[in-house]
Amino acid sequence: MRFYRLLIILISFITFFSLYNCSNADDELVESTQFECKVDTISFLPDSTKISDEVEVVFAVSLEGETKYFSVLEKYITNNRLITIGDKLIHVNDFTSKGDKATFDFYYGENLGPFCMELFSAIPMHTHDAFNAEADRVDSDKNTGKWKVRKMKTLSSNDPPE
């Protein structure tokens, strides 16, 4: 009787540690994947006579030291200081520039999709948080207003204002 009891305990321990180790290995794989998704630049594109209604947003996505870029080039509309880019791809609120500095709130739109996972299949499912940005103007012949994001502070809500 004592032998069977020890055998059952031994089998239970082996089963527990086998399951624990498999689960732990998967968790370590996800945790060890070093990636970063961030907004690199926002460019308001020029027209021959005025600023057009197009904007380009460039995202920098890095995985294990390799960086790839994803661009969104779309028309935008402005409604009460809220810029909606594309079909609810991106929202930029309260864009304010003074000289070579700008600030704005950046919201990932509901239709943007998992762009970073398209660049690197090893990036696990995750979310992007809205943020307040500080950006510096970048001189460029191609752009009327190209802004390089330098600082980001996470906002309390991911929902853009209406």
Per-residue pLDDT of the chain (162 residues; tens, 9 = 90+): 555 554 455 455 454 444 444 333 344 444 567 899 999 999 988 765 455 589 999 999 999 999 999 999 999 999 999 999 999 999 999 999 998 999 999 999 989 989 999 999 999 999 999 999 999 999 765 556 899 999 999 999 999 998
User: What per-residue confidence (pLDDT) applies to 109?
Assistant: 93
Return the pLDDT at 28: 43
Q: What is the predicted pLDDT for the residue at 27?
A: 40
Domain ranges in the chain are 1-32, 34-154
What is the predicted pLDDT for the residue at 83? 94
The DSSP code sequence of the chain is -HHHHHHHHHHHHHHHHHHHHHHHHHHHHHHH--EEEEEEEEEEEE-SSSEEEEEEEEEEEEETTEEEEEEEEEEEEEETTEEEETTTTEEEEEEEEETTEEEEEEEE-TTS--HHHHH-TTSPP-----EEEEEEEE--SS-SEEEEEEEEEE-S-SSPP-
